[in-house]
Chains A and B, each alone.
Chain A
Amino acid sequence: MSRRMKNFRHLGALVVALALFAAACGDDTTTTTTAAGATTTTAGAVFTPGALGAVTVAPGAPIEIRALQAISGEVSFLGTDQVRGAELAIADFGQVDGHDVNLGTPEDDLCSAEGGQAGAQAIVAQANVIGVLGTTCSGSAAAAAPIISAAGMVMISGSNTSPSLTSDLAGTAGSNWYNGYYRTAHNDLYQGATAARYAFEELGLTKAVAVHDGDPYTEGLATAFANAFTALGGTVTIHAVNKGDTDMTGVLTQVAADAPEFVYFPIFQPEGDFIIQQKGGIAGLETVVWMGADGLITDGFLAIPETAGMYFSGPDLRFGTNASATGTNYDQLVAAYTAAYGEAPTAVFHAHTYDATVLLLTKIQEVAVQDADGTLHIDRQALRDALNATSGFAGVTGSLSCDAFGDCGAETISVIRNDDPTDVAAGKANVVYSFAPGA
C-alpha cells in the first residue's frame, strides 16, 4: 500500500513539474503576444500596421536582424563566410534612419532540416526580429522557411540553390516555397541548363550520363541537367552513388555501358575523387568529357592529376567592377574581409550574403515609418512587398531582380576548364563559357 502511495507521489511530482514547465512556456508566449499587441496599440495613433503586424523600434534601440547559417560541422566554412559577409555589409551600410543594426549571435542551421527548424524557432521567439540572413544549406531552408514565413518575417539566403525553395522558373512554385523567402544565390535549374547547353551546343555532344549521390542538392542538379539536355535534343541516363562509397567500379561500368560522350557528376568530395581517379580502370570511358559542379571546385579536387581537362559548372564569380548600393565592389569587399578577419574568404557566398544584407537593410529603410521622437515602425507586409518589387538593384554580384517566388540572384553561371592541375588558381580563372538566362 505504501509503495503504491509512493508511486502516486512521484506521479504527482511529475504532474506538478510538467504544469510548471507548461506554465513557463505559456508565459513566454503570452509575453510575446502582449508585447506585439502593445506596440501596435501605441503605434496606432500615427501608424497602422498591415496584415502581418509591424515591428516598433524605440528611439536608440537597434534594428534586429539575425543570421541562420551553418557555423559548425563539415560545411562551417560556408556558413562562417556568410556571417562575415553580413557583418561587413552592416558595417558598410551604417545606420538605418538613425538606428543601429544588430545581427545578434548567429544561429546554427547545422546544414540539416533539424538545425534549420531549431534555429528558425529560436529566431521567431524574438518578436522584434525583422529579417533573417540564411540559411546556408537548402535542406535547412526547407525546414526554416515555413516557420519564418508564418511569423511574418523575411529570410534572404546567399547560398540556397534548390529549385524547390522558389520555383521551376516556369511559374510553378516549388514544394518548399513560402512567402517571405528570397535568395541572392542562383537557382540550380540555371546551373543544370548551363551545363547542358555547354555540352550540347558548344561541345556538340548528344549522349550524356548524370551521376548524383542521393543528396537533394546533387539529385536536383542532376535532374535539372537531364531535363535541359533532353529538351535540347540529347539523351541522358541518370546513375547514382552513395555518400561513403569508395569503390566506384560498379557504377562506372554501368556508366560505360551507356556509352556516354559526356558525364555530369555534380557531387562532392570524396566520392567525386573516387570517380575521377577510378575511371581510368574502366574500359569504354577513355574519350568521355567529364564535368563537375561547384561542389567540386575546391583546391584539393582541382589538384588531382586526373582532373586535367575536366570542366566545372558554377556561379560566375567574375564580379568585376559591379558596385553594391553601398559603393563597394568585389575587390574592396575582399580587401575589407581580409583586413577584418585575417584570412582570405573561405568560400564564394560572402558576396551573395553581402548583397542580401544590403538589400534587406535598403528595403527596411524604404518601408520604415518614423515618428517625431525617432521611433521606427516597420510593417512586415510592406517589407515583403518592397522586396518582391526589387528590380535592377545594384549588388556586388550583379544586378538583382526578384521574381514572384523570391529568386533574386544575378544568375550568371559559368563553365571553367582545369587545364593544369598543378596550377589551381589558373584553372579556377579559366572560364570557357558563361550564361546568364535573364540577359
Chain B
Amino acid sequence: MADLSVPKLKLNADAPTLAVDVFLFALRVLLIFFAAWALVGTIAIQVDGGGLTATAWRDLLVGGLAQGFMYGLIALGYSMVYGVLGFINFAHGEVFMAGSMSGFFVADALFDNGMWVNSFPLAFAIVMLTAIVTSALIAVIIERIAYRPLRGAPRLIPLITSIGMSFFVQYAVRGLVGDGFKDYPQLPAGLQQRVSFLGLDIEGIKLFVIATAIVSMVALWLFVERSKTGRAIRAVSEDKEIAALMGIDVNKTIVTTFAVGGAMAGVAGLLWAMLFRKVYFLTGFLPGIKAFTAAVLGGIGNLVGAMLGGVTLGLIETSGPRLLNGLAWKVPTLVAFVLGAVALATAVIGVIRVRRSDPRTVGTALGMVIVGVAGTAWGFIVLPGAQVVIPGTSQLKDMIAFVVLIGVLMIRPIGLLGEKLAVEERG
C-alpha cells in the first residue's frame, strides 16, 4: 500500500475523494454495460425471431417521434427562458395546459356549429390561434407579475416562485372550468386513417403532429437566428448588461422570449389534445416535467438541443420498455463465458494498474469485476433455468427515461449539445 502514489490524487479537503471517483466511474461502466446488453439482447432476440415485427417497430418509432416532438416544443420554452434569465420556469407546463384547455372550448364550439367537420383546416387554424395566443399571453403575464419583480434576486427565488405559479395556474384553471376531463371532438376521418409516407403506413394524425412540430421549430429557429429580435434575444442571453449598453431593451426582449416560448407551448398543447383528445387542469404537469428533462438532456439553453432531447426522450419512452426485455436475452453460454472472462481480465489488469492510482482505472476495474460477476451469473445461473420475462415493462417507461437521463448526464454533464458556460450567470 505504501507505494500507492497518493499525492497524485490531490487528496485535500476540497477535492472529491478517490472513493467517490471510483464509485462514479464504476457506475458509468455499469450503465454503459446494461445499455449495451439491452441493445445487443434486443437485436439478438429479434434475429432469433422472437422480437417485434417491422410494423410494430414502425408504430413504436412513429409514436415515439410524435410524443418526442411535442416534448421538444415544450422544451424550447424551458430552454429559452433559461437562456435569458438563467432559471427554470416550472410554470411552463401550465402554459402548455392553458393553451390546450382554451383550444378545447373553441374546438367544442366549432364542432357544435359544424365548422369542425365541414371545413376542418379553417377550424383548426382558429383553434391553433386561440391556443397560441392564450399560452403566449399567460406566459407574458406570469413573467410580468411573478418574475420581473424578482429580477436580480438569487436564482433560487424565481425558481421557487415558478413552482408556486405552477400551482396557481393549475388551480385557477380548475376553479374556472372544473376538474373534469374535457374531451376534444373527434378528428375528421382523413386524419384518423393511415397515410403512406416514404413507403411507410403512418397514422395521419401522428404524421400531422410531427409535421406541425417541425414547421414550428424551423420557424422558431429562423426567428432566433435570422431576425433582429432574435439577435437581441441571443445578445441578452450572452450578457444582459452589455446588451443594455448596446441599446437593446432588455425587458422587451425578455417579454418576447416568454411570448415565443409560450406560443410554442400553445402549439404543443393543441397537438397534444389532437393526439390524446383529453385535457384537464393537471394535464400540464407530467409533460412539463418531461420536457424540462428533455431540455436538460439536450443541453439547456440550446434550442436544437431541446428538440433533440425531446425526440430522444419520446423515443426512449416508447421503445425503452421493449429494449428492457433485451436484458432477458437467453444469452448463449459461450457469450456469457467470454464476457465474464474479458471483464475479469480487464479487472485484473485494472488492479495491476492501480499502482498508477488513476481513479478511472480503479473505477473501470471495479465496474468490470461487477460486470464479470453479474454477466457470468446471469448467463450461467439465471437464464438457463427458463426464459426470463420481465413483467410489466411498460409500467417502467418513465423510470427508463429518467435512468437514461441520469446516464447521459453522468457521462456528459452538460447534455447532448450543451455548451460549457464561460461565466456563471447571474439571475
Contacts and interface: CB of A to CB of B under 8 A. Distances in A.
A245 B63 CA distance: 14
Contacts of B58: 283
Interface residues of B, number: 38
B203 A281 contact: yes
A418 B393 CA distance: 31
A240 B67 contact: no
B203 A239 contact: no
Contact of B181 (A240, A241, A269, A280): A269
A256 interface: yes
A15 interface: no
B192 A250 contact: no
A250 B321 CA distance: 7
A231 B181 CA distance: 39
B2 interface: no
B107 to A, nearest CB: 16
A284 B394 CA distance: 18
Interface in B319-346: 319-322
A253 to B, nearest CB: 5
Given A249-B64, A270-B181, A281-B206, A254 B393 contact: yes
Interface in A270-298: 270, 273-274, 277, 280-284
A392 B74 CA distance: 61
A281 B59 contact: yes
Contact of B67 (A247, A273, A283): A247
B325 to A, nearest CB: 8
A282 to B, nearest CB: 5
B141 interface: no
Contacts of A239: 392, 394
A332 to B, nearest CB: 32
A209 B52 CA distance: 16
B261 to A, nearest CB: 22
A284 B60 CA distance: 13
A242 interface: yes
Nearest to A251: B394
A240 B63 contact: no
Contacts of B394: 239-241, 250-251, 254
B67 A241 contact: no
Nearest to B52: A257
Contact of A254 (B186, B201, B317, B321): B321
Question: Which of B51, B186, B276, B322 is the most central at the interface, judged by chain A CB atoms within 10 Å of its CB?
Answer: B276
B425 interface: no
Contact of A242 (B62, B183, B205, B398): B398
Contacts, number: 93
B56 interface: yes
B318 interface: yes
A249 B63 contact: yes
B113 interface: no
A253 B395 contact: no
A254 B63 contact: no
Contacts of B356: none
A241 B318 CA distance: 12
Nearest to B205: A281
Interface in A147-182: none
Given A240-B394, A250-B319, A283 B56 contact: yes
Nearest to A237: B389
Contacts of A280: 192, 203
B390 to A, nearest CB: 11
Nearest to A244: B286
A282 B56 CA distance: 7
Interface of B: 51-53, 55-56, 58-60, 62-64, 67, 181, 183, 186, 192, 201, 203, 205-206, 272, 276-278, 286, 317-322, 391-395, 397-398
27 contacts: A238-B391, A238-B392, A240-B392, A241-B395, A242-B395, A244-B286, A246-B276, A249-B60, A249-B63, A249-B64, A249-B67, A249-B318, A250-B63, A250-B317, A250-B318, A250-B321, A252-B59, A253-B322, A254-B394, A257-B52, A273-B278, A280-B192, A281-B59, A282-B59, A283-B53, A283-B59, A300-B183
Given A242-B398, A251-B321, 11 more contacts: A214-B395, A240-B394, A246-B276, A249-B67, A250-B317, A250-B318, A253-B56, A254-B394, A281-B63, A283-B55, A283-B58
Interface of A: 214, 238-242, 244-247, 249-254, 256-257, 269-270, 273-274, 277, 280-284, 300, 305
Kindly list the 9 A-B residue pairs having the minimum CB-CB distance in the complex, ordered from nearest.
A249-B63, A240-B392, A251-B394, A240-B395, A283-B55, A250-B318, A281-B203, A246-B276, A247-B67
